[in-house]
């Protein structure tokens, strides 16, 4: 029996994780859940999974959590998230908080020796060096939940990295695959949220439309698999059936396929090294008929090049890219900037940043806050311009 804490239990990954657990109650027990503010969904999860502890980040929301539930300890705020991440008796922490808010609890979980099923890619994007060296010092396993990295992990299957020539991450191309770079100027948040293959949260859906998500995944792969940046490539594969592949030095390519459903990578991260049944429907290739591939157009998707630039610059630069992107995506979703404005904000913020070494969590958090602030002032500039244009 594996005992789990789930950080971000009411998000898309959290819900899928609980679905996997409910199909295998003999293998997994939920000791703790952590959410930002979705009390209604948390109450249902408490009824069904009977955790010992729940954390609610938003303190006003925590006050709304009814106390007539089954007996459960309620903790609050960032400290509450850390309490859940470091709870005694927990074997594995599922790290599935969206964005930079997941960094500190994930780091604390590793420091307390918990294995990590990692969905919060920002933890590695912001602080990959710190996270990976802490994990190796403490003998902690970090098993990827991100579908691409789960695929690579499965293809590598413990092989010597000297045998690897290239890791190739697949990208669906998102909802705008067939739009031109010019047409992207005018797309709306609703169009950008409408992903063709994957049902995901808002932030990651926008990141998929800009391909920033793939860029963040390049950074994630760099840290997880300890490969030089030149050995990580990206290819567009609109059907999302091949989740990624590894080319070996003998020319062999091993890929991992399944229907696109996050329960696949989640169950593998929880049950590794075993495989468990009753997770995904059969992949019917005769029905799908065609798998297609194309090179990503970096003019149309500038975010992808920006992430390679950030990785080459190193230190705090990937963290700044991520912070600026978070602020820019929020501004796009609330209508303040255009879709193409997102990469302009990220690029401008990076250009203004003098990268530090990024050797402590405090330093990366400071860099992230600086990036959000700098991006915020660039967003204001773009918004004013937009208003001026409308008047003219
Ligand atoms: Mg992914």
Last residue of a domain, one of 82, 110, 144: 144
Question: Residues 64-77: pLDDT tens digits?
Answer: 887 665 789 999 99
Name the residue among 107, 26, 90, 98 with its Cα closest to residue 53.
Answer: 90
CB 7 within 8 A of CB 105: yes
Structure tokens at 94: 């599922």
Distance 264 CA to ligand 1 centre (A): 12
Distance 236 CA to ligand 1 centre (A): 13
* 317 alpha carbon, distance to own chain's centre: 18
Distance 68 CA to ligand 1 centre (A): 38
Give the integer Cα–Cα distance in Å for 155 and 158. 9
Give the integer Cα–Cα distance in Å for 340 and 345. 9
Distance 234 CA to ligand 1 centre (A): 12
The answer to whether residue 327 is domain-embedded is yes
Distance 176 CA to ligand 1 centre (A): 17
Burial of 312 per CB tally in 10 Å (0-12, 13-18, 19+) = exposed
Distance 154 CA to ligand 1 centre (A): 15
Q: Which of 195-204, 230-239, 330-339 has the lowest mean pLDDT?
A: 195-204
* Mean predicted confidence (pLDDT) in 167-181: 94
The residues, any chain, with a CB within 8 Å of residue 177's CB and separated by 6 or more, are: 196, 236, 238
The answer to whether residue 34 is domain-embedded is yes
Question: Residues 136-160: pLDDT tens digits?
Answer: 999 999 999 999 999 999 999 999 9
Distance 217 CA to ligand 1 centre (A): 7
Distance 52 CA to ligand 1 centre (A): 31
Name the residue among 23, 21, 27, 26 with its Cα closest to residue 6.
Answer: 21
Distance 148 CA to ligand 1 centre (A): 5
Q: With 90 as the cut, is the pLDDT of residue 387 above it? A: no
The answer to whether residue 308 is domain-embedded is yes
The answer to whether residue 29 is domain-embedded is yes
Residue 382's pLDDT is what? 86
Residue 104 domain boundaries:
2-144
Distance 258 CA to ligand 1 centre (A): 14
Q: With 60 as the cut, is the pLDDT of residue 392 above it? A: no
Distance 251 CA to ligand 1 centre (A): 25
* Mean predicted confidence (pLDDT) in 298-312: 95
Last residue of a domain, one of 129, 144, 159: 144
Distance 261 CA to ligand 1 centre (A): 11
Count structural domains, the chain: 2
Distance 363 CA to ligand 1 centre (A): 27
Give the domain CATH number at 351: 1.10.1740.10
The answer to whether residue 228 is domain-embedded is no
The answer to whether residue 137 is domain-embedded is yes
The answer to whether residue 108 is domain-embedded is yes
Last residue of a domain, one of 144, 160, 187: 144
Distance 386 CA to ligand 1 centre (A): 33
The answer to whether residue 284 is domain-embedded is no
Give the domain CATH number at 21: 3.40.50.720
Q: What's the N-to-C CA distance of the chain in angstroms?
A: 66
């Amino acid at each position: 029996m594996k005992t789990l804490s789930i950080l971000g239990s009411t998000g898309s990954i959290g819900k899928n994780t609980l679905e996997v657990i409910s199909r295998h109650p003999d293998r997994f027990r939920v000791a703790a859940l952590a959410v930002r503010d979705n009390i209604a969904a948390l109450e249902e999860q408490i009824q069904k999974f009977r955790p010992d502890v729940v954390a609610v980040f938003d303190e006003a929301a925590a006050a709304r959590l009814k106390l007539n539930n089954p007996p459960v300890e309620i903790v609050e705020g960032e400290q509450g998230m850390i309490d859940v991440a470091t709870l005694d008796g927990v074997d594995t922490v599922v790290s599935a908080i969206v964005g930079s808010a997941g960094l500190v609890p994930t780091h604390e979980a590793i420091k307390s020796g918990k294995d990590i099923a990692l969905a919060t890619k920002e933890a590695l994007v912001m602080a990959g060096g710190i996270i990976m060296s802490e994990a190796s010092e403490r003998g902690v396993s970090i098993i990827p939940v991100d579908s691409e990295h789960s695929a690579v992990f499965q293809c590598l299957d413990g092989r010597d990295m000297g045998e690897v020539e290239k890791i190739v991450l697949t990208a669906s191309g998102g909802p705008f695959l067939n739009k031109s770079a010019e047409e992207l100027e005018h797309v709306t948040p609703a169009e950008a949220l409408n992903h063709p293959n994957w049902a995901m949260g808002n932030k990651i859906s926008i990141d998929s439309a800009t391909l920033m998500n793939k860029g963040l995944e390049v950074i994630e792969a760099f840290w997880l698999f300890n490969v030089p940046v030149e050995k990580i490539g990206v290819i567009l594969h609109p059907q999302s059936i091949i989740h990624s592949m590894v080319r070996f030095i003998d020319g062999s390519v091993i890929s991992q396929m399944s229907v696109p459903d996050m329960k696949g990578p989640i169950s593998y991260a929880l049950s590794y090294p075993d495989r468990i049944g009753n997770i995904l429907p059969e992949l019917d290739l005769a029905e799908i008929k065609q798998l297609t591939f194309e090179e990503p157009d970096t003019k149309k998707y500038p975010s992808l090049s920006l992430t390679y630039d950030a990785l080459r610059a190193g230190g705090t630069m990937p963290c700044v890219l991520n912070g600026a992107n978070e602020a820019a995506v929020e501004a796009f979703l609330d209508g303040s900037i255009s879709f193409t404005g997102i990469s302009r904000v990220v690029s401008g913020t990076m250009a203004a940043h003098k990268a530090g070494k990024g050797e402590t969590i405090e330093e990366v958090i400071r860099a992230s806050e600086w990036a959000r602030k700098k991006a915020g002032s660039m967003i204001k500039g773009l918004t004013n311009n937009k208003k001026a244009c409308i008047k003219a």
